[in-house]
Structure formats: C-alpha cells, structure tokens
Amino acid sequence: MTTATLQDTELAGIIESYNGVTERLKQSHELLTREVGRLHEELHEKNRELARRERLAAIGEMAAGVAHEIRNPLGGIGLYASLLERDLAELPGKLDMAKRISEGVRNLEGIVGDILAFSRDAAPKCVVSPLSKIVDNALTQCAMAVEANRVHIDVDLRLTKRILFCDPSQCERALVNLILNAVDAAGKNGHVSLREGAHREADRFAAIVVEDDGPGVRDEDLHRVFDPFFTTKDTGTGLGLAIVHRLAEANGGSVAATNRREGGAAFVLLLPLANVSEDSVVHV
C-alpha cells in the first residue's frame, strides 16, 4: 500500500468518524430540544394550575361567606312558607302559591349547599375501599334520575376488581356528580357507560371513564368545565364538576374532560390504588 493510499484511507476513516459524531450530536440535540419543549409545556401547565388553585381558593372563600349570609334569612323564609301552607290548606289557589315559595326555598338551599360543599375543607379520610362498593352506592343515588330519563347504563366489570386508597364518601360524591352530569347530557333514552380507561400509571391509579352519547362539550369550553359557576345549562349552579375536581385532587387523583370520536363527552376520573389484593379486603 502506497503512502498516498494509506493517507486516503486514514482520511476516509477520520471523515467517517467525524460524520458519526456529528450525527450523534444532531440526534442528541434533537432529543434535548424535544425534552426542553416538554418540560417547558409541563412548567406552563403547572403554573396555570397553580394560578387556577389560587383563584379557586379566593372564589371559595368569598362564596362561603355569601352562602352563610344567605342561609340564615333563607331558613326564616322557609319556616314562614311552611306556616302559610298550613294556614292556606283550604284555599287551593293561594296554597299553590305558598307551595311555589317553599319549592323555591328548597332550590336555593340546594344551591347554598353546593357552594358550601365547594368551599369547605376537603381533607379526606383515606382508607382501603373497594371500587365496586363506591360504584354501586353512586348508581343507587343516581337511580331516580336514570329512571326519569330512561337512560341505559353499562358498567365495565373490570372496575369491580379495583381496590382504592381514598375517602370513599368523597369519591362516591365525585362519581355521583359525573354520572348525573352524563345522564343529563345523554337525555331521554340515552346511553351512559362507566368503564376502565388506560393510563400510563396503571399500577398506581384506577382510571374511571364516565361517557355519554350526548352532544359533547364545545372545544373552547373543555378547559373551563371544572371552573366554579361555569355552566352551559339553563339550570344549575355550575358547581357540580368543580366539586368533582376539588374532591379528586384532595384524594391524590385528578379529573379530565374530553370528547368522544363517536360523539358525546367522556370524563376520566383518576383515583389512587391501594397496595393490596382484592382477596385481602373485607367487604361490608
């Protein structure tokens, strides 16, 4: 091999090595750029969530004060309305007006109750809880609304195998609110399903998906549905989903809203799993 050929071989090796290093640097740079973008987006989301929590805390404190101020005179109105009903028992026309007053008072009491439920401390009392019992209790509480709307509900049996570590009463209320919201969205003769969803931390969380075949949520409203007092309905306080969000976070989970490709909305409730097997849980 001549000196020139040897030099050409060495130069080719150097160029090949340089190209290899350059390609690895390029790949590392692209990977780093993607990771920086992901971290930036995650930081932006965390900052947005922190600002949201601070805003909700201020709203909750103000709402609680207003609710307490309303509750006292409301109790008096309710008392006098019931006395009127008794005194007007033999005057059907006027009795109907008194009953309307009482019904209005009950509606207002429900609104005040929702406001107080949203604003009060949601410190959970976490215990090992079979998800099957939480689902059964929630469906029992929703039975009247389901029957009134003739809604068909499907329940994924895989959910019954999950064991949670949570406050069962709080998670039950969160699930009730999601089911009632889905029943209302599905409308007469609609369909609602409760199924197990996929999640990247399936060993830590149970993903409970509550779906309906209603009109779905407008894309511009998806990030607002959990804000207090936000509603697209003609009735209601707009606190049902805000309470779900608050209770989910209090129990170490989360809730998110999306639209289904088939039509309708889907709400994903993540709740922490207990580190036990189903066989070791005593069902009461």
- Cβ atoms of 226 and 244 within 8 Å: the answer is yes
List the structure tokens of 82: 């019931």
Over residues 111-163, the pLDDT tens digits come to 777 777 666 666 889 999 999 999 999 999 999 999 999 999 999 988 888 99
- Is the pLDDT at 1 greater than 60? The verdict is no
Q: DSSP letter for 107, please.
A: H
Over residues 28-72, the pLDDT tens digits come to 878 878 887 777 777 776 676 666 666 666 666 666 667 767 777
Output the average pLDDT for the chain.
Answer: 82
220-254 core/surface letters (b: 16 or more CB in 10 A; e: else): eeeeebbbbeebeeeeebbbbbbbbbbbbebbebe
Over residues 210-269, the pLDDT tens digits come to 999 999 988 888 888 888 777 777 666 677 888 898 889 889 999 999 999 989 999 999
CA distances (Å), 35 to each of 30, 31, 44, 163, in order?
9, 6, 14, 35
| Domains, the chain, with CATH or none | 1-120 (1.10.287), 127-280 (3.30.565.10)
What pLDDT score does 32 carry? 79
Residue bearing tokens 């040897």 = 6
List the structure tokens of 145: 């609304």
What pLDDT score does 283 carry? 44
